[in-house]
A = this chain, B = another copy of it.
Amino acid sequence: MSEKRPLAALPSNGKAISISAVAEQAGVSIATVSRVINASKPVSADTRERVEAAVAALGYRANAFARSLTRGESRLLLVLVPDFANPFYSETVKGVASVVRRHGYNIVLAGAPDALAPDTGAPDALYSRLVDGVISLASLHDLQPAIRDMPDLPWVACSEFVEDGGMPHASIDHGQAALDAVQYLINRGHRRIALLGADESYVWARQRHAGYEAALKRAGIPLDAQLVRVARGTDYSLGMEAAGALLALESPPTAVFAVSDTLAIGAIKAFRRAGRRVPDDIAVVGFDNIPLAQVFEPALTTIAQPMFELGAAAARLLLERLAGGHPRSLTLQHALVVRESA
């Protein structure tokens, strides 16, 4: 498939430039070159200058593979993202990227579960031991075997987590947040409140579901199974579908709590297509507070998650683990932001 190409940068003459080329040009050993480029040991001023001149003249850069091989680290981190299309994930990844690159790490991105190898159930990048650690926004369920297979690889979860507490994570309190959202709806006088849920292989989805039920229970409102629709994902279209089903009920809800803004937006779209006014005929509260939430019309009443901070916090957790620490999981604050949709 791929053309054989020397790894080193090629000056116009086509010859790979490696550490030995620099050493030769500077008239020193490769060990010395290594010491100056890494500032790992004292080198005389004179020698250092000669080496630096040679490096500059040749345009030398250390080969990442050789370096990783000897150092035992790649400074590459895997980020597992379920869905590039949901702005929640892009915002979060921005947070990860921001802290990680300040520490000299690069990000290898993989979509999960799409990128999971059929045989191993893990991303190729994992089993090739390419990365120093992983930050997962994906459902950890299917990844358990992979995680167990490589006990020395540090994992950290973001927004999502594993319930046994074995993996540090940065997250909000999903259950409480959902409870807050539904409580708000109840306070506004709603009693027929639907849940627009998402793939429950995610614990956040299960916890938000539980929060919804808790709020209802607390208010003495009986659960109605017809009022809960669990979507397979968070695409707008899935929100539309679920909303359509809700509308088809003999006794439709007067409010819906959607566990994601994208789902909420899809639902609103469907309601309006069906001639319902939001929030007058039916109120909708979302979850995440993606940038679009305040731009969409009607602007979304939603639970704000600190997306960027969640990513940044997860990244810091991983960095701490990489440094040999045993950081504790973090619960960040959420907030109900009331706008127009409910």
Contact = CB atoms under 8 A, between A and B. Distances in A.
Interface of A: 1-10, 12, 59, 61-69, 72-76, 84-85, 87, 90-91, 93-94, 97, 101, 103-104, 106-111, 114-115, 123-125, 127-130, 132, 149-152, 235-236, 240, 265-266, 269, 272, 291-292, 295-297, 319, 322-324
A295 B236 contact: yes
Given A1-B323, A3-B324, 6 more contacts: A1-B104, A2-B73, A5-B132, A59-B149, A61-B129, A107-B109
A218 to B, nearest CB: 33
A63 B73 contact: no
B101 A90 contact: no
- Specify how many copies of this chain sit in the oligomer: 2
Contacts of A123: 106
A126 B197 CA distance: 42
Contacts of A85: 87, 90-91, 94, 291
A152 B90 CA distance: 32
Nearest to A149: B59
B72 A5 contact: yes
Contact of A110 (B9, B62, B106): B106
Nearest to A272: B297
A10 B129 CA distance: 11
Contacts of A63: 69, 128-129
Contacts of A115: 97, 101
A106 to B, nearest CB: 5
A108 B292 CA distance: 27
Contact of A322 (B1, B61, B109, B114): B1
A76 B272 contact: no
B149 A124 contact: no
Contacts of A324: 3
A189 B291 CA distance: 34
Nearest to A74: B65
Contact of A129 (B9, B69, B132): B9
Nearest to A9: B150
A235 B291 contact: yes
Q: In the complex, which of the residues A59, A235, A297, A322 has the most CB atoms of chain B within 10 Å of its own CB atom?
A: A297
Contact of A104 (B4, B101, B103, B124): B124
A125 to B, nearest CB: 5
Contacts of A84: 90-91, 93-94, 97
